[in-house]
Structure 1
């Protein structure tokens, strides 16, 4: 029985219940804030350090074999490639790196895999890929151009490398990035034959994309 001036009994004096789904939305909101903060920290680190892409140069090249018979090219080539990490306080993991040679836009050797390595800040490493091509068919106009260059004592080749790299800053390591390197080299051929170390023309710095 309710007395005069008394209040009504609503029948629930406990803590108010959360509506279904409200707790889930709060958790997702907190997670979203954490993700935004993490991305912001990564962006700040990137902008402050601003990693520069690695630099590559063709130091020298050796033609062990270069025979063209009936449009089929057999070759054995070795390059010395200088790799330079120009960054301060940023290292580079080369998780994978593959190399092959092309002539006039046509691939003339299968790809070879180079050993993965780590390159510290401002470090310099020399890579020495050895490439072989056995009876690789060339288009007629490409074969004619190669014969023309050999007769004039010049050989223009492109060494291509591609792989995956990661940046390292302190204990933090980035995700993997694609690396593409194109090294166009104009080489002088010896008059005595095709084999041997060949001089390089100026301008042997490689184009690099990350």
Structure 2
């Protein structure tokens, strides 16, 4: 084989390699563009949570142990999926009550739930906290809230995971954090006992929108 023929074959191989690399790059770019367009068109909107009501059975501070809180309440939470083409899977959701950034109840597990397009889900968990240790300033904060407004702000919080479903495709898990403020009033039925607030069972209709982070 002559030098000229050898150079010709080498040039052909280089051209073929460039063609293969160009085709591969174009294919990868096409896939990435398709994924990007699907994400832009079907980009999921985070669910909307609402705290519908809360029934308070006990909210007792420092009985019998100082700087402890006993809480029993039931809440009704609803979630709305606003997406027309995206479903939502809820996994390992836990709900608990918080006051002044301190958790005051055990975390109650919610059942795993699938929420279809523009669908609603409703949960009514009980929240329990029996003689939960709290910081000393909580007592004075409760007394200030009672004297100033006759109510306390209890935050109902939800932590868990969500997955998005588009057709048969299901995404990976994303963390979801929900915070629902609930103003619990003791007006008309309140007293100071053992340094804390005591309330009879009473139901509060709240219809309070919650903040949601995904």
Counterpart in the other structure of 2:204: 199
The 1:33/1:77 distance shift into structure 2, 3 A limit, reads farther
> Gapped runs of 5+ residues in structure 1?
1-7
Aligned residues: 199
Q: Is the 8 A contact 1:56 1:206 kept in 2?
A: yes
Greater radius of gyration (CA): 1
The 1:43/1:201 distance shift into structure 2, 3 A limit, reads same
Is the counterpart of residue 142 in structure 1 residue 123 in structure 2? Answer: no
SS of 1:145's partner is helix
Q: Distance in 2 between matches of 1:33 and 1:105?
A: 52
Q: Distance in 2 between matches of 1:82 and 1:103?
A: 21
Structure (1/2) with the larger helix percentage: 2
Counterpart in the other structure of 2:185: 188
TM-score w.r.t. the length of structure 1 is 0.79
Is the counterpart of residue 49 in structure 1 residue 46 in structure 2? Answer: no
Q: Distance in 2 between matches of 1:165 and 1:136?
A: 30
2:79 aligned to which of 80, 83, 89: 83
Q: Distance in 2 between matches of 1:9 and 1:153?
A: 101
2:165 aligned to which of 164, 168, 177: 168
Task: Quote the offset at 1:198 in angstroms.
Answer: 3.0
SS of 2:38's partner is helix
Q: Distance in 2 between matches of 1:135 and 1:90?
A: 43
Q: Distance in 2 between matches of 1:34 and 1:73?
A: 62
Q: Distance in 2 between matches of 1:112 and 1:35?
A: 46
